[in-house]
Chain A
Amino acid sequence: MSYLLDRLTFFRRPHEPFSEGHGEKIVEDRRWEEAYRNRWRHDKIARSTHGVNCTGSCSWRIHVKDGVVVFETQAVDYPRNGPELPDHEPRGCQRGASFSWYLYSPHRIKYPMIRRRLLELYRAERAAGKDPVEAWTGIQSDPEKRRYYTAVRGLGGFVRTTWEESTEIIAAANVYTIKKYGPDRIAGFSPIPAMSMVSFSSGSRYLSLIGATMLSFYDWYCDLPPSSPQTWGEQTDVPESAAWYQASYIIVAGTDLPTTRSPDCHFYSEARYRGTKVVAVAPDYSALTKFADLWMPVRAGTDAALFMAMTHVVLKEFFIDRRESYFIDYAKHYTDLPMQVLLREDADGNWVADRFLRASDLPQQAGQSENAEWKTVVYDTHTESFRCPNGSIGFRWEDHSAANAKSRWNLKMEDAVTGEKIDPSLTALDETDETSPVMFPHFATGEAKTVIRKVPSRLVDLEGGGQARVCTVFDLLVSHYGVDRGLNDEGTAKSFDDTDTPYTPAWQEAITGIKPADVIRTAREFADNAAKTKGRSMIIMGAGTNHWYHDDMGYRAVISLVELCGCVGQVGGGWAHYVGQERLRPLAGFVPIMAALDWSRPPRQMNGTSFWYLHTDQWRYERMQVDPLLSPTARGNYRGHSFADYNVAAARMGWLPTAPHFNRNPLELADQARKEGAKTEGEVAQWLAGALEKGDVRLAFEDIDDPVNWPRNLFVWRGNLIGTSAKGHEYFLKHLLGAQNAVLSEGTEGAVGREIKWHEQAPVGKLDLMVDCNFRLNSTGATADIVLPAATWYEKDDLNTTDMHTFIHPLTAAIDPAWDSRSDWQAYRTIARQFSKLAAKHLGKRTDLVAAPLMHDTPSELGQALGVKDWGHGEVRCMPGKNAPQVKLVERDYALIDEKFETIGPLLEKLGNGFEGINWDTRAEVAWLATHNGTRTTAAGERPLIDRDEKVCDAILALAPETNGEVAMKAWQIEEHHTGLSLTHLVEGRRDEHMTLHDLKAQPRRCLTAPNASGIIDPKGEVTYNFAMTNVHERIPFRTLTGRAQFYQDHEWMLDFGEGLVLFRPPLTMDALLEHKRAGELTLRFLTPHGKWGIHSTYQDNLRMLNLSRGGPHAWISEVDAEAAGIRDNDWMEIINVNGATVVRAVVSQKIPRGVCLMYHAQEKTVNVPGSPTTHRRGGILNSVTRVVVKPTHMIGGYAQQSWGLNYYGPVGSQRDTMVRVRRLSDQNVDWLEGPLTEAIEREPSALGRFRRETADNLGEKS
């Protein structure tokens, strides 16, 4: 009825007064309420999540109305935890809740887009009658045509095209590149597979099939803690968030749980209700600090000094003054502390700690015939002799193929020959008074470069006669920490108050600013709690500690503390590394599909940091020198080498991978080897070794700027490489893309390189083609040549896991992909189809020579055992697979890429499936998939289909032990054979479980325990998941040299850099500031923690988060600094150094300490970013002022745990050591750079020329 008439009821309107007339019940029209009800009405709910790099992995209900996603709410149907534990849900945060905005936002990429100039060129070539590959050749062979479209990258100019046309161009570019330069000149980048496994697999499967290179991201993001592989041989494995609740003492350092672990943070506050004490270590008054019992406002980048001082206290009070039996027992069984280390006398007569004593050093090799050089030794107090116990890496790669072979690769403390029980001696002091004066390196600023301390030692008889001095790692460690043990040693600390002796609590105060009393009390409480609870003390840490150049020092300092306190592998204890650590639980289901191992092995993979450092020419600007980082005790065979040189050497010795491999097309190399008589893989390897030694074939890295060695095609999907992850953003723009850039330096420093060739003229615009596939237009899309519209997380089927909980749950297509978008899987399927069409004519069937590094978890990790011999320096012959890359031949039928992409190939049945060195028969699962998914006819017969996203999900779930109980059973049986232990009980009760995507859509499921993770998943949810539980409770060795957690790193390069044992290394003060300090400028350390209003660059640009935050990029500075520079809150600021500039709004706050500029991570430059008045280029992102420096110790390879693996080990892209200048910009000085593209802008992409002219004008100097 009428709204008006309904109101006109004065005479029949009932009045029902109540409460003596104070109240009244009325009857009136209530239709208006429907407006509010309709807001929340919907037709359908689908379960999905956000495939974003946050580790949240929160299940959400996606509400659809009239075919439009209208909102999302948190799903609250996770399986319960046990009655003693709070549940994980509800999970989600303000960021995820805002996602549906993106689907219909102006950021959404709706259609395939291409740079107009490129399209015009391409269509002109095609109109001239050329086929696609010829057309692409026509463009690439004309430098002016190439410049015409590459020089305007990032300046707009996109036009709409079709899938047909855009993928044809992409395929043509790939075919051309493979033919002319080789498949290793094509690269792909996509981060964090755990957030959407199928989408990650799409591009990497296509690239792996054509032989292109997949790049790593974890190390590049600097989220990989190299300390973890170094100590445990494990990439990273951490406790789930519920484990915080089971800890009774927590120290949190460098991670802000409420901000970055929002869905999990409730466990942190709930733990406090349970009585857990919490200590916060953070330079700023962060959200985390508010809940803490004690705040340690440590100076940024000095965490190592703080934790070493705590360890000093623990060593003194719990190991020396009283011998805490739990700690001692733990140390003997699970750490390398009882292992024997050789002492070496250097040229000056000082004793220096050298490598571990090996079975091969002992008479008759201690009875070990196989891999004796890879077996470490303890001193047994029962028999008073040196013995070789079970568990070291040598036992892992013994031949176990014989049915009755008895494996010794386990942590039973037994003599590996006789099986007798061993009691390893932790310290020689118990049996002898003999000590040696050992020299330790020391790096604290302004202190002596070496320290000499007495170390209890003994003599050992060597094979072939002679004796050597040895000591235990424990004895080295105690002396290294300066702990007095009554040896009358001048070098050790008199007391905790000794300010002059490193690493006492008093010594650290000058460095960290923390009161010694706090350090001593916290250390005592932490250790005391651990002793009483058997390890329930936990240290949570993250980017604030890890994103530094010397991140492994900070982390090893923490790890040493938790290892000494016996916390690792115990419920509610140990280390908890939370930054970018997303755990892909069904790994064995994912890897074969991701890397196309079902069709060809091995895939081409490359470590991201080296790739970007070299190809974006950041090495040419390298102002840091390596030699000052070396230890005074170093052998130093590479003295005088630059960082890039170290990388070349590491690649040459097969330690790090290469992309491209050589200065030749690998397809042609294979042809040539065959032509010259090499038939088998081994012969080809020998042929190549000869060619390398003669110099006929050279590593591409030796001449990285030669156009032959440039990367030519780059694919980016599911990520924002340029707008977030490009550390050294401006160098990417300049050298890789040839775009407008703000680099303010010539880059002449790299000329000092010895191994890497210098070109006077730096290359600009190396990429022929960059392709971005995303749902959101960000800086990566803006600088790409072709942009493909991807389905969002509410428009596709996929899988998602995290290590913050043990569940697996799906992404679901709540609606069909909107506009012209497609899921990543379908996008790459389209590209594969186009590629095959063109390749049939231009490529055909070829053999590809793949040079793989010495890989972790394969027998090749046993490279050079006793020292580094470099064939490049003529010290030894080149032996592929030993001291040089492994050589593998892969047959590629390029016409069949499309059918291979969408079916599961025969290699899984032929070679089995597995990970981390174990391999099982998986024929049953492939047969199941053929029935479940259906098949299609291929050149290899009828093969199971994975053409649709949901079928890929089911394939992953069927193949992985975490989601298929039968597979878990097989995996544990194999692991039992490898270790000689009984392990299948870990999954016995769940053998019948087999999850499919449909099951997960109904409810998230708890994964099964599998051998690729070291935690145990309790199906009842009572025991929380934690790292190293199978090591400590089931005695499976750590995958390290000693098989134990390693305090001591004995590789020659580790010792050269003084990092055999953990020590404090101050943050670098990178010499990257502009020469002339301008008036009103502050010099500040530039910190980039993760923020509250975005997950990296996602969300921070959406309307809701912009409204809640500052509406655009901003950076925080302290009140004191702000006043000095005349900056008021919300003023514009310019942040600048030689790497570039970024322009942001100022947030002035008491929470920031002086001397720090804190810019929350990855605020994009797509919204509200003006130009910089210094560079006259768009204000930039956080990484506009950063440049990476690589650390040589991360390049070590072929050495047990220090061997390369994708996202497992390798140099990290640290950026926290950056210094910047900050100044206020008046509003009049803000230039929004609005205006058309002019010839002048196009012809001068670099900011440097104008900057030089203006600086010269201002200072009255010649440039």
Chain B
Amino acid sequence: MNSTWNLIFFGVYPYLAGTVFLVGSILRYEFDQAGWSTYSTQLLASRRYMMWASNLWHIGILLVFLGHFAGMLTPVFEWMHVPVVMHQWIAFTAGTTFGVIAMIGGLMLLLRRYVNPAVRAAGRFSDLFILVWLLVTLGLGLGTQAITLPDLLHGNVANMDIFRAYLEGLATFRPHPELLMKIPIVFKVHMLFGMTVFLLFPFTRLVHIWTVPLNYLVRRYEVVRARRTA
């Protein structure tokens, strides 16, 4: 990959995806209130099946996401004085575990989308597409472990340092795409797929992530709405 392409993919594209993600979400929220939904098909399927499929998927994918975020964008391990090799071991173990859990759940969901005619009829194209996209991204992520593990056994954590530096650069608007020039291709594809998830985000059911009703955890028992509007 020459440096121009590298610049486009890892210097420009992340900001493009991020912009679409943010602006797109806001516009969708403004202009498609009634369409802001999970488009859930849970009612149409077996409860037991969904209990496993949906929970495995959601727990797995959320923890994988959290792992990426905490491990790469926060200094939490440094604060705890965890050595970098240990950090990498933790990341590897947790990532594989929850990645596999998410993969099992995701494949169950995909199977249901194909097998259950009611769900197939009720689902939109974008529902199927984003699920497949996420599963491919996840698969690629798990695939990178094939490179990470041998490195790790040799105490080599260079790649992680590169990613951390690269992501830090991205987050602080001082991108260093050139850092990634030597990274194995599977990492790059995984990253491109991952960034594309943000690009696709506003056009799919994924918007429901924005409005997870977390306030139910803290709100008062009885809420009444005032007649006057805000």
Chain A residues with Cβ below 8 Å from B26 are 4
Q: In the assembled complex, how far is the CB of residue B53 from the closest CB belonging to chain A, in whole angstroms?
A: 27
Do A24 and B229 touch (CB < 8 A)? no
**Interface hub of B26, B33, B220 (most chain A Cβ within 10 A):** B220
Q: Nearest residue in B to A19 (C-beta to C-beta)?
A: B222
Task: State which residues 1-46 of A face B: CB under 8 Å.
Answer: 2-4, 6, 9, 13, 17, 19, 21-32, 35
Size class of B's contact patch?
10 to 19
Do B222 and A22 touch (CB < 8 A)? yes
Q: Is B225 an interface residue (CB 8 A)?
A: yes
- How many angstroms between the C-alpha atoms of A24 and B225 in the bound complex? 9
Do A28 and B222 touch (CB < 8 A)? no
B212-226 vs A: 1/0 string, CB under 8 Å?
000000011111111
Chain A residues with Cβ below 8 Å from B226 are 25-27
Q: Is B230 an interface residue (CB 8 A)?
A: yes
- How many angstroms between the C-alpha atoms of A471 and B230 in the bound complex? 93
Q: In the assembled complex, how far is the CB of residue A36 from the closest CB belonging to chain B, in whole angstroms?
A: 11
Q: Nearest residue in A to B229 (C-beta to C-beta)?
A: A30
- How many angstroms between the C-alpha atoms of A28 and B226 in the bound complex? 7
Chain B residues with Cβ below 8 Å from A26 are 223-226
Q: Given A6-B230, A27-B229: A32 and B224 within 8 A (CB)?
A: no
For A, the interface residue count at a CB cutoff of 8 angstroms equals: 21
A450-474 vs B: 1/0 string, CB under 8 Å?
0000000000000000000000000
Chain A residues with Cβ below 8 Å from B223 are 23-26
- How many angstroms between the C-alpha atoms of A19 and B224 in the bound complex? 12
Do B229 and A3 touch (CB < 8 A)? no
Chain A residues with Cβ below 8 Å from B225 are 25-28, 30
- How many angstroms between the C-alpha atoms of A23 and B222 in the bound complex? 4
Q: In the assembled complex, how far is the CB of residue A222 from the closest CB belonging to chain B, in whole angstroms?
A: 41
Q: Is B81 an interface residue (CB 8 A)?
A: no
Do A4 and B222 touch (CB < 8 A)? no
Q: In the assembled complex, how far is the CB of residue A671 from the closest CB belonging to chain B, in whole angstroms?
A: 67
- How many angstroms between the C-alpha atoms of A26 and B228 in the bound complex? 10
Do B224 and A3 touch (CB < 8 A)? no
Pick the residue among A23, A25, A27 that contacts B230 (CB under 8 A). Answer: A27
Chain B residues with Cβ below 8 Å from A35 are 34
Task: State which residues 622-677 of A face B: CB under 8 Å.
Answer: none
Chain A residues with Cβ below 8 Å from B34 are 32, 35
- How many angstroms between the C-alpha atoms of A19 and B220 in the bound complex? 11
Task: State which residues 195-229 of B face A: CB under 8 Å.
Answer: 219-226, 228-229
Do B30 and A3 touch (CB < 8 A)? yes
Q: Nearest residue in B to A14 (C-beta to C-beta)?
A: B226
Q: Given A26-B224, A27-B225, A28-B225: A3 and B230 within 8 A (CB)?
A: no
Q: Nearest residue in B to A1 (C-beta to C-beta)?
A: B230
**Interface hub of A17, A25, A31 (most chain B Cβ within 10 A):** A25
Q: Is B29 an interface residue (CB 8 A)?
A: yes
Chain A residues with Cβ below 8 Å from B30 are 2-4
- How many angstroms between the C-alpha atoms of A25 and B228 in the bound complex? 11
Q: In the assembled complex, how far is the CB of residue B210 from the closest CB belonging to chain A, in whole angstroms?
A: 10
- How many angstroms between the C-alpha atoms of A1249 and B221 in the bound complex? 75
Chain A residues with Cβ below 8 Å from B219 are 24
Do A22 and B220 touch (CB < 8 A)? yes
Do B228 and A21 touch (CB < 8 A)? no
Chain B residues with Cβ below 8 Å from A22 are 220-222
- How many angstroms between the C-alpha atoms of A1155 and B223 in the bound complex? 60
- How many angstroms between the C-alpha atoms of A27 and B223 in the bound complex? 10
- How many angstroms between the C-alpha atoms of A712 and B225 in the bound complex? 71
Q: Given A21-B220, A22-B220: A4 and B29 within 8 A (CB)?
A: yes
- How many angstroms between the C-alpha atoms of A261 and B73 in the bound complex? 71
- How many angstroms between the C-alpha atoms of A4 and B34 in the bound complex? 14
Q: Nearest residue in A to B32 (C-beta to C-beta)?
A: A3
Chain A residues with Cβ below 8 Å from B29 are 3-4
- How many angstroms between the C-alpha atoms of A13 and B221 in the bound complex? 18
Do B228 and A27 touch (CB < 8 A)? yes
Do B230 and A9 touch (CB < 8 A)? yes
- How many angstroms between the C-alpha atoms of A4 and B211 in the bound complex? 12
Q: In the assembled complex, how far is the CB of residue B27 from the closest CB belonging to chain A, in whole angstroms?
A: 10
Chain B residues with Cβ below 8 Å from A13 are 230
Do B220 and A28 touch (CB < 8 A)? no
- How many angstroms between the C-alpha atoms of A716 and B105 in the bound complex? 59
B168-186 vs A: 1/0 string, CB under 8 Å?
0000000000000000000
Q: In the assembled complex, how far is the CB of residue A7 from the closest CB belonging to chain B, in whole angstroms?
A: 8
Q: In the assembled complex, how far is the CB of residue A279 from the closest CB belonging to chain B, in whole angstroms?
A: 43
Pick the residue among B33, B221, B230 that contacts A28 (CB under 8 A). Answer: B230
Q: Nearest residue in B to A16 (C-beta to C-beta)?
A: B226
- How many angstroms between the C-alpha atoms of A1221 and B226 in the bound complex? 66
Q: Nearest residue in A to B222 (C-beta to C-beta)?
A: A23
Q: In the assembled complex, how far is the CB of residue A8 from the closest CB belonging to chain B, in whole angstroms?
A: 10
Q: In the assembled complex, how far is the CB of residue B118 from the closest CB belonging to chain A, in whole angstroms?
A: 13
Do B228 and A32 touch (CB < 8 A)? no
- How many angstroms between the C-alpha atoms of A25 and B227 in the bound complex? 10
B19-55 vs A: 1/0 string, CB under 8 Å?
0000000100110011000000000000000000000
A167-207 vs B: 1/0 string, CB under 8 Å?
00000000000000000000000000000000000000000
Q: In the assembled complex, how far is the CB of residue B43 from the closest CB belonging to chain A, in whole angstroms?
A: 15
Do A24 and B230 touch (CB < 8 A)? no
Q: Given A4-B26, A4-B30: A23 and B228 within 8 A (CB)?
A: no
Do A17 and B230 touch (CB < 8 A)? no
Chain B residues with Cβ below 8 Å from A30 are 225, 229
Q: In the assembled complex, how far is the CB of residue A446 from the closest CB belonging to chain B, in whole angstroms?
A: 54
Q: Nearest residue in B to A32 (C-beta to C-beta)?
A: B33
Q: In the assembled complex, how far is the CB of residue A39 from the closest CB belonging to chain B, in whole angstroms?
A: 11
Do B33 and A3 touch (CB < 8 A)? yes
- How many angstroms between the C-alpha atoms of A29 and B29 in the bound complex? 13
**Interface hub of B26, B226, B230 (most chain A Cβ within 10 A):** B230
Q: Nearest residue in A to B226 (C-beta to C-beta)?
A: A27
Do A24 and B228 touch (CB < 8 A)? no
Q: Nearest residue in B to A21 (C-beta to C-beta)?
A: B220
Do B222 and A24 touch (CB < 8 A)? yes
- How many angstroms between the C-alpha atoms of A2 and B27 in the bound complex? 10
Q: Nearest residue in B to A12 (C-beta to C-beta)?
A: B230
Chain A residues with Cβ below 8 Å from B230 are 6, 9, 13, 27-29
- How many angstroms between the C-alpha atoms of A58 and B62 in the bound complex? 57
Do A25 and B221 touch (CB < 8 A)? no
- How many angstroms between the C-alpha atoms of A32 and B29 in the bound complex? 12
Q: In the assembled complex, how far is the CB of residue B38 from the closest CB belonging to chain A, in whole angstroms?
A: 16
Pick the residue among A2, A23, A29, A31 that contacts B224 (CB under 8 A). Answer: A23
Q: Nearest residue in A to B227 (C-beta to C-beta)?
A: A30
Q: In the assembled complex, how far is the CB of residue A29 from the closest CB belonging to chain B, in whole angstroms?
A: 5
- How many angstroms between the C-alpha atoms of A27 and B224 in the bound complex? 9
Chain B residues with Cβ below 8 Å from A6 are 230
Q: Nearest residue in B to A29 (C-beta to C-beta)?
A: B230
Task: State which residues 1197-1223 of A face B: CB under 8 Å.
Answer: none
Q: In the assembled complex, how far is the CB of residue B110 from the closest CB belonging to chain A, in whole angstroms?
A: 27
Task: State which residues 88-106 of B face A: CB under 8 Å.
Answer: none
- How many angstroms between the C-alpha atoms of A27 and B230 in the bound complex? 6
Do A24 and B224 touch (CB < 8 A)? yes
Chain B residues with Cβ below 8 Å from A17 are 220
Do B221 and A31 touch (CB < 8 A)? no
- How many angstroms between the C-alpha atoms of A28 and B34 in the bound complex? 17
Query: Residues of B at under 8 Å CB distance from A?
Result: 26, 29-30, 33-34, 219-226, 228-230
Instruction: Write 19 A-B pairs (CB below 8 A) sorted by A numbering.
Output: A3-B33, A4-B30, A6-B230, A13-B230, A21-B220, A22-B220, A22-B222, A23-B223, A24-B223, A25-B223, A26-B224, A26-B225, A26-B226, A27-B230, A29-B229, A30-B225, A31-B33, A31-B229, A35-B34
The 8 closest A-B pairs by CB, nearest first: A23-B222, A24-B220, A27-B226, A22-B221, A30-B229, A25-B224, A27-B230, A4-B29
16 more A-B residue pairs beyond the given contacts A21-B220, A25-B223, A30-B229, with a C-beta to C-beta distance below 8 A: A2-B30, A3-B29, A4-B29, A19-B222, A22-B220, A22-B222, A23-B220, A23-B223, A24-B224, A25-B225, A27-B226, A27-B228, A27-B230, A28-B229, A31-B229, A32-B33
